[in-house]
């Protein structure tokens, strides 16, 4: 089991999402966590990548 789970709901804020994920990984070194990103029918850049649900885990 992970120490932490971070869930992010995203809608049309691809730029903010990218910065948010970068920050999470920059400042969480050595922490056993998972990040779950759920896109809520965005029409911005994340939609163009066909990503509707993203689960990133790191140990």
Report domain extents, the chain: 4-58
> What was the pLDDT predicted at 27?
92
* Structure confidence at residue 59 as a pLDDT band (50, 70, 90): very low
pLDDT at 57: 47
What confidence tens digit (pLDDT) does each residue in 3-57 have? 888 998 888 888 888 888 889 888 988 888 888 888 777 777 655 454 445 565 4
Q: Which pLDDT score is estimated for 45?
A: 66
- Burial class of residue 35, CB neighbours in 10 A (0-12, 13-18, 19+): buried
- Token digits for 25? 């990984």
Please provide the DSSP assignment of 17-45 as one string: HHHHHHHHHHS-TT--EEEEEEE-S--SH
Task: Tell me what pLDDT residue 54 has.
Answer: 58
């Amino acid at each position: 089991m992970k120490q932490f789970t971070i869930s992010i709901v995203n809608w049309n804020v691809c730029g903010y999402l990218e910065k948010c994920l970068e920050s999470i990984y920059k400042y969480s070194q050595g922490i056993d966590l998972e990040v779950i990103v759920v896109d809520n029918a965005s029409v911005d850049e994340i939609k163009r990548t066909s990503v509707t649900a993203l689960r990133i885990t790191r140990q």
